[in-house]
Chain A
Amino acid sequence: IDSEDDLLQECISSAMPKKK
């Protein structure tokens, strides 16, 4: 379950805008 959560978090972060 933990790794599934990590995967999700990584996925969410990957879609966020990078710092300008």
Chain B
Amino acid sequence: PTPPYLKWAESLHSLLDDQEGIQLFRGFLRQEGCGDQLDFWFACSGFRKSSQEKRPKLAKAIYRKYIQDSNGIVSRQIKPATKSFIRDCVVRLHLDPAMFQQAQTEIQSTMEENTYPLFLKSDSYLEYT
């Protein structure tokens, strides 16, 4: 069978589907000051699955931590229109499970184009393999 670390190089999704891969990628992102990218990505997935009772508090928490501060790494990588959309949803309590979908896609593209290829060339990954 293919060893997990070779699968990680196939696609970002293969990497994010493996606990050990996530751990290594997260360590790399933290070194680069981009750890929030990954946490935000998982928070968006978790939000979709969250219960209706938790959604209002959770939407606010995600908004405050990653989007409100325009200097934050996640906030800088999301389009202004997407940020206003989320802000509107939070303010009006229009809490659709998919309200972070677009932002998640944008962060995912950033990882795919930028931090994920860097990770595959990084010492952390090469040492692991």
Q: Which residues of A contact B (CB under 8 A)?
A: 4-5, 7-8, 10-17, 19-20
- Number of B residues, CB within 8 Å of A: 22
Q: Which of A8, A12, A14, A17 is in CB contact (< 8 Å) with B18?
A: A17
Q: Please state if B50 and A4 are interface contacts (CB–CB under 8 Å).
A: no
* Cα–Cα, bound, A5→B1 (Å): 39
Q: Please state if B39 and A12 are interface contacts (CB–CB under 8 Å).
A: yes
Q: Please state if A15 and B18 are interface contacts (CB–CB under 8 Å).
A: no
Q: Please state if B42 and A19 are interface contacts (CB–CB under 8 Å).
A: no
**SS of A interface (majority):** helix
> Contacts A7-B54, A19-B19 known; A14 to B61 CB distance under 8 Å?
no
Q: Please state if B19 and A11 are interface contacts (CB–CB under 8 Å).
A: no
Q: Please state if A12 and B61 are interface contacts (CB–CB under 8 Å).
A: no
Question: B3 → chain A, closest Cβ, in Å?
Answer: 14
Q: Please state if A17 and B50 are interface contacts (CB–CB under 8 Å).
A: no
